[in-house]
Structures are given as structure tokens and as C-alpha cells.
Amino acid sequence: MRRRSAVAVICALILTGSVHAVERSGATPAGSYLWTGKAPWFGGFSGLEVSEDGSSMLALSDRSILVSADLQRKDGRVSGVEVTSANWVRSSKNKPLIGRAGDSEGLAIGPDGSHYISFEGVHRLAHYADPESRSNVLPRPEAFKDLASNGSFEPLAIDAQGRLYTMPESSRAADGSIPVYRWDGRRWSTPFKLPPRGDYLPVGADFGPDGRLYVLERATGALGFRSRLRRWTVSDTEATNEETVLDTRAGAHENLEGVSVWRNDGGKLRATMISDDNFVFFLRTEIVEYTLPD
């Protein structure tokens, strides 16, 4: 999501680095790394997938750039990022996506190694065989047509069965709940809805190695960005056992939008998150990690 209140983002920058990062959480801080780059495409990262061992990542910017990188670690914490490739996300006609059509937000990797991307400017989801392939746009049901122009598909996740899940950032169902859309390879359905809590909006999602659905949410206020991570046990028809595992104070981190959940060498659940700097000089690209309770 590109548009932000100037007051809010400036406050977020001023307050970033607060020693009191967590307001209410079962999570433990596991490091924060400021990633910088001089390439003209660098920034705006809103989608993230981290390898099973935490040694590499695939990051997606909201200007349709897909970046592969190795994560250097010291004592388990990210200490450096080495970019191995950067590719334009391509259209179905095999041309680089630009402008409103290239507002890419969510990223999910399937069991076969191919990946999916969600787009917010023109509401759609697309499948890619590899980072250099053309897109295969998924069918768009009627429900997608009335979504907010700057508040549709940011979160994207894929379960162990290869089913794709997404939800709108700000558009809501008639009862005020967050509709979750699922693509099973043949058709779209709405298997369940999630309850909104407070002024947070969903901006990222992932299925962890524990099989639970994790949703990263963000709230913006006069004191900066707040981030929250909730998780659910998901069945074919419902999401149960809601749990908040991370809830940060305002200004504790940058504008976190992408999330990936994996297990470290010690078998602990680890959430890696990345921030969208909106391509403005007073925001930064931050990679944040927390150890989560099982």
C-alpha cells in the first residue's frame, strides 16, 4: 500500500528503535537488520518468503521487482544480505509490469517451487513458474470487482495442500469481518472469515511449519507504525484457536508488510518480517525477526 500519512511516517522514523518494542506478546525479539541498497529498484518490499533453514529469501517490491538473496547470519541473527538476482515481474504478454498494473504486494511459494503474486492496483492474483516467467492470471470472481482501489490483496499464503489464501487489506464483508478467499486450483471460495480487532489492517500472511495461518497486521497513528501477528488453526471450513503472538508498540519498527514463518536450527518457530519504505527517504528497509511460542 503506497499512500501514507506524512505525519505518521515521519513519527514512525523518529520513534523507530524504541527499546520497548513489544507491548503484549508471546514472542521474543531475535534481531533486526537495516538493509540498504543503491540499485534504482531497491525498496518498497511488501512480500517475503524465507527458506526452510533461514539461509535465503525471496522478497517482492510493490513495483514488481522480485529479489533473491542469501541471508548472512551471526549467532542466528541476520547480519547481512547478499542479492543473487533481481527480476522484473512480467505480464501475461511477457513484458515488465509497470504503473498501477504492477502494484505487486503478496508473495507465496507453492509445493512445486513456483510462486504466486497478489496485486492491489488491478485486483488479481497470478501464478509464475519461475522468477523470469510470464504470468498466468487466475480467474477473477465477482467478489473481487468491488474491492477498494488501494486496499485489496496484500496478504497471500499457501497451505500444505497447495491451496492459495488471500484477503483484502481494508475491504470488509457486510458483517464487518475480513473475508478470506481460497483458490484450490479450480475455483475460488470463501471458506471462512476472520474477526477484525481494533484498527489493524492485514498486510501479510503465511502458513508456518506448524500448519497454522499467520497474519501480519499493521496500524498507523500519530506515534508511528504498530505491528501485530495473529495465528489460527485452519480447517476446510473454519479458522479457530485465534492467538495473538506479537503486538508491538508504536514506532518500534518500520512499516512491516511481509512475513515468513520457519523453524531455526534449534527447532524454534521464527517469524521474519520485512518493511516497505514506500520509496521515501525518511523510511527504511528493515528485516525483523522474532522467536514465536509453539
Please indicate, yes or no, if residue 99 is contained in any of the structural domains. Answer: yes
**Total number of domains constituting the chain:** 1
Give the CATH number for residue 112: 2.120.10
pLDDT value of position 222: 82
Residue 224, sorted as left (phi over 0), alpha (psi -120 to 50) or beta, turns out to be: left
Q: 3-state DSSP call for residue 99?
A: helix
Local structure of residue 111 (DSSP, 8 states): T
Quote the CA–CA distance of 178 and 173 in Å, as a whole number. 6
Domain of 18, in residue numbers: 6-292
Residue 106, φ and ψ in degrees, nearest 5: -105, 150
Please indicate, yes or no, if residue 173 is contained in any of the structural domains. Answer: yes
**pLDDT 10s digits, 110-152:** 999 999 999 998 899 999 999 999 999 999 988 898 888 777 8
**pLDDT 10s digits, 63-82:** 999 999 999 999 999 999 99
pLDDT value of position 134: 95
Please indicate, yes or no, if residue 1 is contained in any of the structural domains. Answer: no
State the sign of the Cα–Cα–Cα–Cα dihedral 80, 245, 227, 261: positive
Residues of the chain with pLDDT under 70: 1-20, 23-24
Quote the CA–CA distance of 38 and 62 in Å, as a whole number. 17
Q: What is the residue-averaged pLDDT of the chain?
A: 91
Please indicate, yes or no, if residue 202 is contained in any of the structural domains. Answer: yes
Please indicate, yes or no, if residue 203 is contained in any of the structural domains. Answer: yes
Q: How far is CA 3 from CA 44, 105, 255, 261, in A?
A: 12, 14, 12, 27
